[in-house]
Chain A
Amino acid sequence: MKLLPQSFGAKLLALFMSAVGLTQFATWAFIREFNDTQARELINDELDRTTRNFARVTADRNSLLAAAAATAARDYAVKSLFAGEDDATLATALKSIRISSTAGLVTALSLEGKVRASTLAAAMSDAAYADLVRRAQASPEASARGYGLFGGELYSLVLAPVHAPDIIAWIAVGFRIDDAFARRLKEQTGIDLTFFDPAGRPVATTLAPAVVRDLAAMLPALHEEASSEEAGLAGTTALVRIRRLAAGGDRGGTLALQYSLEEKLAPAAIAQSRQLLVAVGGMIAAILLSLAFARGVTQPIVELVGHTRRITRGDYSIRNRSYRTDELGRLSEAFDQMSLGLSERDRVRDLLDKNVSPEVAAQLLRDGATLGGEEREVTILFADLRGFTTLSEHLPPRELLTLLNRYLDRMSAEIEHHGGVIDKFIGDAIMALFGAPVPQGDAARRAVSAALAMERALVGLNAELAAEGRPPLAIGVGVNTARVVAGNIGSQRRLNYSVIGDGVNVASRLQSLTRTPEYRTNVIVSAATLRAAQTPFPARPLGTVAVKGRAEPVEIFAIGS
Chain B
Amino acid sequence: MNSKPFPAGLRRSFPSLLVLCLLGFVGGAPRLAGAILVEIKDGKGQPVADAVASLTPLDRTPVIKVPDEPAVIVQDNEEFSPVVTVVVVGGKVLIPNRDKVQHHVYSLSPAKRFDIPLYKGEMKEPVVFDRPGVVALGCNIHDWMAAYVVVLATPHFAKSAAAGNAQIGDLPPGRYRLEVWHQRITAPVVREVTVNSDPSTQVISVTLRELRQIRRAPETGGGAYR
Contact = CB atoms under 8 A, between A and B. Distances in A.
Interface string A68-84: 00000010100110111
Contacts of B138: 163-165
B2 interface: no
A167 B108 contact: no
Contacts of A165: 136-139, 143-146, 213-214
Nearest to B110: A83
Contact of B140 (A76, A84, A168): A76
Contact of A63 (B109, B144, B210, B226): B226
B106 to A, nearest CB: 7
B60 interface: no
A163 B108 contact: no
Nearest to B107: A164
B115 A167 contact: no
Given A74-B143, A79-B108, A163 B214 contact: yes
B31 interface: no
Interface in B211-226: 212-214, 226
Nearest to B183: A166
Contacts of A151: none
Nearest to B115: A76
Interface residues of A, number: 17
A420 interface: no
B212 A142 contact: yes
A140 interface: yes
A166 B136 contact: yes
A161 B213 CA distance: 10
Contacts of A83: 108-109, 113
A476 to B, nearest CB: 143
B222 to A, nearest CB: 14
A167 B143 contact: no
A492 B104 CA distance: 148
Given A74-B143, A163-B143, A164-B108, A140 B136 contact: no
Contacts of A63: 226
A142 B211 CA distance: 10
Contacts of A142: 212
Interface in B192-226: 210, 212-214, 226
Nearest to B142: A165
A161 B210 CA distance: 14
Contacts of A168: 108
A79 B143 CA distance: 12
A60 B79 CA distance: 32
A164 B226 contact: no
A167 B136 CA distance: 10
Nearest to A169: B108
Interface string A155-193: 000000101111110000000000000000000000000
B210 A140 contact: yes
Interface in B130-153: 136-140, 143-146
Contacts of B213: 163, 165-166
A165 to B, nearest CB: 4
Nearest to A63: B226
A34 B109 CA distance: 69
Interface in B57-93: none
Interface in B110-140: 113, 115, 136-140
B146 A166 contact: yes
A161 B109 CA distance: 16
Nearest to B210: A140
A515 B140 CA distance: 175
A166 B136 CA distance: 7
Contacts of B108: 79-80, 82-84, 164, 168
A163 B214 CA distance: 8
B183 to A, nearest CB: 8
A14 B92 CA distance: 111
A161 B212 contact: yes
B136 A164 contact: yes
B102 to A, nearest CB: 14
Nearest to A70: B214
Given A165-B143, A165-B146, A166-B146, A76 B106 contact: yes
A430 B149 CA distance: 168
Interface of B: 104, 106, 108-109, 113, 115, 136-140, 143-146, 183, 210, 212-214, 226
Interface of A: 63, 74, 76, 79-80, 82-84, 140, 142, 161, 163-168
Given A163-B143, A164-B138, A166-B183, 18 more contacts: A74-B143, A76-B106, A76-B140, A79-B108, A140-B212, A161-B212, A163-B138, A164-B106, A164-B136, A165-B137, A165-B138, A165-B143, A165-B144, A165-B145, A165-B146, A165-B213, A166-B136, A168-B108
5 closest A-B pairs by CB: A83-B108, A165-B138, A165-B146, A140-B210, A164-B108
